[in-house]
Amino acid sequence: MISPLQAAAKQAFLPRLTNVCRWNAQSLNAISRVGLRQASMGPAGVSVAVLGLGLAFSRSTPVQCDALPAAATPTRSTPKAVDELPPPPESAISLYQLGFGTVAGLCAGIFVKKGAKAAAWLLGGVFVLLQLGKRKANDEENERPAKKAKDSSVKKAQKKDKPAKKVEKKAISAKSHKKKKDVGSDDGWEDVDEDYAGGSDDEGLIGNLDDLGDDFGDDDEIIRGPVQELTFSDDSEDEIPSKSSNDDESDEDEDDDRITMANMEARSKALDAAAAEEAELDAEELQAAANEEADDFDMDVDSDGGEGDEDGEPFHLPTAEEREQEKAAGGPDLQVLQRRMRDCVRILGKFRKRAEPGRSRSEYTEQLMADIANYYGYNEYLAEKLFLLFPVAEAIEFFEANETARPVTIRTNTLRTRRRDLAQTLINRGVNLEPIGKWTNVGLQVFESSVPIGATPEYLAGHYMLQAASSFLPVIALSPQPNERVLDMASAPGGKTTHMAALMQNTGVIFANDANKARTKSLTANIHRLGCKNVVVCSYDGREFPKVMGGFDRILLDAPCSGTGVISKDSSVKVNKSERDFTLLSHLQKQLILCAIDSINPDSKTGGYFVYSTCSVTVEENEGVVDYALKKRPNVKLVDTGLSFGREGFTQYRGKTFHPSVNLTRRFYPHVHNMDGFFVAKFKVERRSKVPSAQKEAEAEPAVNTAESANATTNSETVGFDDSEDQKYIEGGLFICVQYAV
């Protein structure tokens, strides 16, 4: 039985308790239990409960209502980042407060005994109000550092004229260069055993792009800190002050927190409005970031750090006359060039708003391309060709990336060792390395080494191949199977041949061909060093296939190309590639691709696949060649490369439209993937129908003469070249090749 007073006390306190408990279940559970127990003991107890509730309010932490405390949230932050986190909120009242509350409660009890009930209630009430006021002040105090952090980061971003998104983007790109510390972590090494046990026929397609991202993100300190600070805390901090800014209303607000039938609709409307407002802000922010994208590049030697000229003068685009004068005077110095490039990029990003009146977009573009050629040392033809591949600001990133070497990578030769063992041995020799990424289970990235990595006993014993990460990609895409008959049509010096031999576990047969006999020496040496026993070396012009040999289950054509993807390795490409070279090369590539297709056995039980790859990024050597093959050979279709990352190939480019399936091809870029520029296309070859699709044949561009005389294939079909017509191209293009694309 409870008295009417006790019942009233419960009625008065229970809803409040429920409300408060929503905020801080831990502290209030304790205090409400004390309060209620006291309440049921009589008026003195009620006083204690009132005082206790005051204390409870003072300690409640509404911000943490449904989230884990920041410090308890599992993050992958560094110790430094953890230090910077605010201390976890106290979840229970302190001894001091408990003692104080108890003494105050006893005093109230004495008053009550003397009949001064009113005084007890008054005391309790005043205490509650005082504590509420104190809590509010504390809340505001706690908000400040985060707000300050936000303000300063926003200011910083504004100062650099870059959106917050830029900070995130920079962090992402920085992380790809970042050296990971935990070389021995389980993450990277465990899958080696599985693969070594022969469980997978593919080299490393464990995971997808998300995995790759996670892999890079695991130890990423840079991105985690700022992103949390800018995105999450700011949003929540922004909301809290506006809610509690009106002190006078705080009591009412707390009453309003109770959801009743009466206020439910109003509350849900308010929530909808808040959500809509937030979405609007998000959209505005995104729009702003997109608008600023054009400004979103940085060049290392940034002299003034801001927009425009050093002296704040608006940018003036030189006239043709001024350009001539500048040339005559020996050209602008690097700083002028750099500033002008940045100004042009900025203006082209918001042309209508920023351009000088009367000047056209193409004038700015021309100036920019000329400056890029000048600044980075390209001939103007190539600078323009590469520039046009990307949006303006991204083009600068591409040219910049070509100025720095890509990471040194090695491929474990699984015919001789396991990646884990190789890594351990090399670490013992003083090599600092780690697995490349989840997309390959044989690659290792070497950060530094106290021994020459191309001359260790393990290297000489064939435990690994020094090989660019991008060179793994076509082999992964081809995925040769044990016991197959495979052709590597342009194979020297054998990086990909030996990789294929390992995937085939030294079974079946690989014909490793290269037209350049001299280069077959290094090919043979590598084959021996790596212990490949299923390889036959030959030296034919690839265009002689399938006349000399056909019926392959799979073929790799890692075609001779301009090498525009590997400029960081060979800067001579910047100046020694002319328009003629590109014409010759794409012509040769078109001839080779048809020969490769015709050398595939369309009835292969296990394969019937063909991969075309280049270490070039130009469209005419890649999508142009692939599209040509699709038109000339109706019996082939493009299939997914199986590669978990890489950009889609172009289906449209500067007025040309390619077959829609060309989007299945993949492009890789130094500035995006931190590997050499590369292109990979995978085809499935089917049996040719007896009546060839005349329409399709007719659609094909007459890039090569389709005279029926030359190169009769084993299928009694024609590859479709006219030797005499092509001779001049063949002579010019045959041995144009990239020696370093191993």
Q: Is 516 in the site for ligand SAM (CB under 6 A)?
A: yes
Q: Indicate the residue among 612 and 658 with the shorter CB distance to ligand SAM.
A: 612
Asked whether position 584 contacts ligand SAM by CB under 6 A, the answer is: no
CB of 178 to ligand SAM, least distance (A): 28
> Which residues are known binding-site members?
490-496, 514, 541, 558
> Which stretch, 26-34, 270-278, 286-294, 509-517, contacts ligand SAM (CB under 6 A)?
509-517
Q: Is the peptide bond before 702 cis (omega within 30 degrees of 0)?
A: no
How far is Cα 584 from Cα 731, in angstroms, rounded to an integer?
A: 9
Is 491 one of the binding residues for ligand SAM (CB under 6 A)?
A: yes
Burial class (CB in 10 A: 0-12, 13-18, 19+), 282: exposed
| Sole binder of ligand SAM in the list 515, 566, 625, 662 (CB under 6 A) | 515
Tell me: does residue 741 bind ligand SAM (CB under 6 A).
yes
Tell me the binding residues for S-adenosyl-L-methionine: 490-496, 514, 541, 558
HSE of 425 in the Cβ direction (CA atoms, 13 Å)?
A: 15
Among 354, 519, 577, 631, binds ligand SAM (CB under 6 A): 519
* Residue selected from 487, 492, 503, 597 as contacting ligand SAM according to rule CB under 6 A: 492
Strands 554-558 and 485-488: parallel
Contact between 622 and ligand SAM by CB under 6 A: the answer reads: no
Smallest separation (angstroms) from ligand SAM to the CB of 558: 3
Sites for ligand SAM among residues 716-735 (CB under 6 A): 734-735
> Of the listed pieces 442-450, 535-543, 642-650, 692-700, which binds ligand SAM according to CB under 6 A?
535-543
Note whether 737 binds ligand SAM by CB under 6 A.
Answer: yes
Half-sphere exposure of 412 (CA within 13 A, CB side): 28
CA 231, CA 211: separation in Å to the nearest integer?
A: 23
Long-range contacts of residues 444-451, Cβ cutoff 8 Å, at least 24 apart: 444/409, 444/410, 444/411, 444/412, 444/419, 445/407, 445/408, 445/409, 445/469, 446/407, 446/408, 446/409, 446/410, 447/179, 447/407
Nearer to ligand SAM, 43 or 542 (CB): 542
CA 472 to centroid of chain Cα atoms: 19
- Does 348 contact ligand SAM by CB under 6 A? no
Helical residues (DSSP H) of 178-249, grouped into ranges: 186-189, 191-196, 209-217, 221-227, 234-244
Q: Rounded to the nearest 5 degrees, what angle is found at the Cα of 235, between the Cα atoms of 234 and 237? A: 65
From 230, 486, 490, 594, residue interacting with ligand SAM (rule: CB under 6 A): 490
Is 483 strand, coil or helix? coil
Piece in contact with ligand SAM (CB under 6 A), picked from 66-74, 85-93, 514-522, 687-695: 514-522
Catalytic annotation, pick one of 344, 561, 595, 615? 615
> Measured from the CB atom, is 59 or 499 closer to ligand SAM?
499
| Alpha carbon distance 493, 544 (integer Å) | 20
State which residue, 346 or 496, has the beta carbon closest to ligand SAM: 496
Contact 595/712 with Cβ under 8 angstroms? no
Q: How far is the CB of 639 from ligand SAM (least distance, A)?
A: 21
Which of positions 539-568 make contact with ligand SAM (CB under 6 A)? Answer: 541-543, 558, 560
Q: How far is the CB of 344 from ligand SAM (least distance, A)?
A: 35
Q: What would the two tokens of residue 524 be?
A: 């043979």
> Can you list the alpha helix ranges (DSSP code H) found in 599-739?
623-632, 670-673, 694-699, 723-733
Residue 550 beta carbon to ligand SAM: minimum distance, rounded to whole angstroms = 15
Alpha helix segments (H runs only) across 85-116: 95-113
Whether 615 is catalytic is yes
Give yes or no for a contact between 633 and 683, defined as CB atoms under 8 angstroms apart.
no
Task: Give the three-class secondary structure for 709.
Answer: coil
742 binds ligand SAM (CB under 6 A): yes
Number of residues lying near ligand SAM (CB under 6 A): 24
Residue 338 interacting with ligand SAM (CB under 6 A): no
Residue 664 contacts ligand SAM per CB under 6 A: no
Alpha-carbon distances of 657 from 493, 579, 585, 663, rounded to whole Å: 35, 21, 21, 11
Q: Does 344 bind ligand SAM (CB under 6 A)?
A: no
543 vs 673 by CB, closer to ligand SAM:
543
Stretch in the footprint of ligand SAM (CB under 6 A) among 170-178, 415-423, 492-500, 618-626 = 492-500
| 466 DSSP β-pair partners | 410
Class of residue 381 by CB neighbours under 10 A (exposed 0-12, middle 13-18, buried 19+) = middle
Which residues contact ligand SAM by CB under 6 A? Answer: 471, 489-496, 514-516, 519, 541-543, 558, 560, 734-735, 737-738, 741-742
Residues forming the active site: 615
